[in-house]
Chains A and B, each alone.
Chain A
Amino acid sequence: MKPIRMQTIKHRTRSFLIVALGVALASTSFADNKNKGGTKGAPAGKAGGGAAGGAAGSGAGGGSGAAGDEGIEIDSSGSGAGSGSAAGSGDSGTIDMEEEEKPQGSLEAELQATETKQTVKAGEVKKTPLSWKDILVVVRKPFLKVRRTELNPFTSVTMNDNMITHYGIGGEFAYYLTDVLAIGVEGQYFVHNFGEPFDLVARQARRLPTVNQYNWSAALDFHYVPVYGKFAVLDRKLVAWEVFFTAGIGAGQSEVIPRDTKYPGFTNILIEPNLGASMRFFLAKWLTINLGVRDYMFLDKFEPTDRSPTMNATASEAKDNADSSFINNIMFQIGVSFWLPTTFEYTTFR
């Protein structure tokens, strides 16, 4: 039995080595493919393209990108020719990955600098010795939101009710758990204005419309940012923007506007789930403009059709016999957001 056990142990050791070899092969294959992606990513740079892939691999994996960059000339401090990032360090053969000091808070300037630095020139390509300056890198997201708080005062207006238009003024505090996920609380106070059909129906059809006004609402919201991009304005100014979706749950209050003022109205507390889609335009590292559409959904109670001294005369009677209806209150919202802290730092190299 003993020799057999020894044999088993040897066999297991061999098997383990084979498995380890296999896993190493698999991970090498995976890493190769990732590097291929990076190499493909910069064909425009031609000479610098391969280096870009290496640099990307280095940044992501923290490893072997520099070693793989054959033929790259690292500027030495004594040469005086180059002024790349390595040159500034003064240590020959070492690379200073620190960024140059730049004034904070100018998102526009950074975007502009990124574009102008990477201008592609048409015509014959002049071959020059490669240096770190030739490495093309992936442009970073110009605005980071993770672990930042958004203070968003906004105003809103009803989009889908031609009888009564509500104007809201409110605000939201949102905290970004990641760069794409946030949780927030919002509150709104409403005022209203009757639309033209409110009067027309009364005058032309001799009917008094039954409408409710909204007093306030509050909600707990979750935001998700799946779309981001940038655009050029008149070929001059670059603006970054993003699209985010919102889902939330909250409460609000509506109030019946009595058709006949001699009868009292009543109020309703509403459970209000909401859904929305919005756009955010980045003006500075601490300032954005938001606009979007939000649908607040709720079951509202309206004044009963029949009210007389003997029927539904009091508010409680009227509320007990109220007509219920499911309402989609779609509102357009626009506001500015202030971000705290007012600046941010990237955790990865440019």
Chain B
Amino acid sequence: MSNKRILLASLIGVASLMSSAYAERRTNGLAKDVAVRHRRLLVKQRFEATPLFESTINAEFQHIVGGGLKLEYHLSDMLSIGGIGVFAKNINTKLTDRIVPTLEASPNDMTREPSQDEFTQHLNSMPLHGAAYVSVTPWYGKLAAFSQAYVAFDFYFQGGVSFAQLKNDCPQSLCSDSNPFMAKNEMTPPDNNPNNDPPLNSGSRVGLYLGGGIHVFLSDFLALDLTVRDYAFSDNPSGADYNADLCVGKNPTTGEDDNRFLHHLFFGAGVSIMFPTTVKRTP
């Protein structure tokens, strides 16, 4: 009898402790928070460094995938200036992978069809790109995820100047027509074959930059940074004849150029680190 009473008392004690522990676990992050506050995370006069990953959205012939760094100084809670630089590699899109095997293996000027090498060697790459910008953060707030995680966030919009380093190494053996718009001599007309023309899609470019994104603050100094960026500048990614004048480059007669103003859309994800890591609180 005595043993049973002890066992029963022990069970009751354990049950009581378990329910206490369960009640403790039911409290969430808001339990230690104040009831009312203004903006939780202030960024005024803080420096933001963001290692990031970036990839093109809906690229035509080559995906551009790379990593880089974003540096930003917040002049106020709503206004900041910064710069971004990304080193990238190119990866063929599925479209390119589908086209190339169907092309002829070696150049044949009679078919007007590029060979596999002519097609791939005319595509350019973008080893470096970036921007200098002004950023405005007009929206900020907080959100609850699954009624447990309460995090601060802000939306920002950026505008500025973009730059890019384009690269093309089409060998002389393939891109042999040094002056596509002119006859090689008075007796020979232009060959009207754009496949052997130099692609003219390498070099430095400067253009416009627009971006928009969201910071999701994981702590006082750490935030997840998701951004869609548009680097807009003159480019001809295929390196082929775009305006159907049978030559690649700027036509001296019509003034038309195969390079045109293009939008290069990227999605970026990074982790922002704010310095100093401590932050002043609103009262």
Contact = CB atoms under 8 A, between A and B. Distances in A.
Interface of A: 11, 15, 18-19, 21-23, 25-27, 29-30, 32-34, 37, 40-45, 49, 52, 118-122, 136, 159-163, 196-197, 200-201, 203-207, 226-235, 239, 241, 243
Contacts of B144: 227-229
29 contacts: A15-B8, A18-B8, A25-B16, A26-B16, A29-B23, A30-B19, A32-B23, A33-B20, A33-B27, A37-B27, A118-B36, A136-B36, A160-B58, A162-B59, A200-B240, A203-B241, A204-B194, A204-B242, A205-B103, A205-B119, A206-B112, A206-B114, A207-B99, A207-B103, A227-B146, A231-B142, A234-B78, A234-B138, A239-B141
B142 A201 contact: no
Interface residues of B, number: 60
Contact of B113 (A15, A41, A205): A205
Given A22-B12, A26-B16, A200-B242, A229 B142 contact: yes
Interface in B97-145: 99, 102-103, 111-114, 119, 138-145
Nearest to B20: A29
A319 B3 CA distance: 80
Contacts of B145: 226-227
A197 B95 contact: yes
B35 A163 contact: no
B155 interface: yes
Contacts of B194: 204
Interface string B37-74: 10100000000000000000111110000000000000
B8 A44 contact: no
A204 B248 CA distance: 11
Interface string B16-31: 1011101110110011
Interface in B225-283: 238, 240-242, 244, 283
A25 B141 contact: no
Contact of B95 (A19, A21, A163): A163
A10 to B, nearest CB: 12
A37 B33 CA distance: 11
Contacts of A233: 138-139
10 pairs of A and B residues whose beta carbons are closest in the complex: A231-B141, A229-B143, A22-B12, A33-B23, A44-B34, A122-B283, A204-B240, A26-B16, A42-B35, A118-B36
B79 to A, nearest CB: 12
Contact of A34 (B13, B26, B283): B26
B19 A229 contact: no
Nearest to A209: B95
Given A30-B23, A33-B23, A33-B24, 17 more contacts: A21-B12, A22-B15, A27-B19, A43-B35, A118-B36, A161-B58, A162-B95, A200-B238, A201-B99, A203-B244, A207-B102, A226-B145, A227-B145, A230-B141, A231-B153, A231-B154, A234-B138
B57 A159 contact: yes
A34 B31 CA distance: 10
B75 to A, nearest CB: 16
A90 B276 CA distance: 56
Most chain B beta-carbon neighbours within 10 Å: one of A27, A30, A122: A30
Interface string B77-107: 0100000000000000001000100110000
Contacts of A200: 60, 238, 240, 242
A45 B141 contact: no
Nearest to B77: A235
